[in-house]
Amino acid sequence: MIANRMGRLAAAMTLVLAMAPAAAAASLARAGEPPRRVVSLNLCTDQLAALLLPPGRIAALSRLARDPELSYVATRIEGIAVTEGGAEELLALKPDLVLAGTYTAQPAVRMAKAHHIPVVQVGLIADFDGIRAQVRTVAAALGESAKGEDLLADMDRRLAAAAPGDGRRPTALSLAPGAFTSGAGTLTAAVMRAAGLANYPEAKGMTGYGYLTVEGIVADPPDLLITGAPSPGRGVKDRPSLAGALISHPALARAIPPDRRPALDENLLGCGGPYTAAAVEALAHARADWLARQDGGRS
């Protein structure tokens, strides 16, 4: 489910820069050598650092980087230290660049600035232009602009290949435990659009993040219900909760049966990045399958 664990990610999902993007990159570029001891305090910047840098230039990532349910790079960071984001812990790591969210680890960020350590802070991404801007800003700060452009070129190729060839747009709903979901102006909406789907909450007038009722969904069900793929060794039964049980509500199960519930890895959209193209590809495939069943039923 695309919106799942938004409570845990709200602090981590941070593209409003402390400095304007161009100014931040220019300021860091004037420092000369690219940073060699980068510390990331934010899940979103963890993932970009891991994609853009060799492990030897990463002094530490946030502890969330190791969580496979949240982090796209969890399987790629073996041997890289993690930090809890404390101010004293940060100074002990001796970073020459700190990547952080707008609202996360503020004492550590203030300490870094007080010690004249360059800091780049990023905020919430709502579309693919935001992904492009964030990647370019962080890549420039790391001295890896060419690598950033390579990642974006690959993302754009995948988006173009996944784009639908017709104007048919089945409705799709990404529903997290507690009926939490994503409306207009969110990355989920941008991904749905790129995959040729109509974002159900957006069509219902929702902007940003919010909640839907089971009764309302059952009364007017979407064509597809996007659910989260269970992490290895951690299925839904391993995480029982009243909020999670809502998704398997019998009425909802009757309205939207299993063959209309494609699964999507939750770590693809918690933070937007070049890898978000994989979410578009998965949903475009689900769209094609649904349309094929519809067309087959009419033949």
Print pLDDT tens along the chain (299 aa): 444 444 444 333 333 333 344 444 444 444 578 999 999 999 999 999 999 999 999 999 999 999 999 999 999 999 999 999 999 999 999 999 999 998 888 999 999 999 999 999 999 899 999 999 999 999 999 999 999 999 999 999 999 999 998 889 999 999 887 778 999 999 999 999 999 999 999 999 999 999 998 899 999 999 999 987 655 444 444 445 544 566 778 889 899 999 999 989 989 988 999 999 999 999 999 999 999 998 886 64
Q: How high is the pLDDT of residue 236? A: 41
Which pLDDT belongs to residue 33? 86
CATH class of 165-298: alpha beta
Instruction: Please say whether the beta carbons of 164 and 287 come within 8 A.
Output: yes
Which pLDDT score is estimated for 230? 58
The closest alpha carbon to 224, from 194, 188, 200, 189, belongs to 200
Q: What is the pLDDT of residue 165?
A: 87
Rounded to the nearest 5°, which phi and psi values hold at 180? Answer: -80, 140
Q: What are phi and psi of 198, to 5 degrees?
A: -100, 125
- Kindly compute the dihedral angle of the four CA atoms of residues 33, 39, 44, 50, in this order, to the nearest 10 degrees: 70
pLDDT at residue 211, as a whole number: 92
The per-residue pLDDT for 5 is: 47
DSSP state of 151: H
CATH code for the part of the protein at 6-159: 3.40.50.1980
Count of C-beta atoms within a 10 Å radius of residue 242? 8
Residues of the chain with CATH 3.40.50.1980: 6-159, 165-298
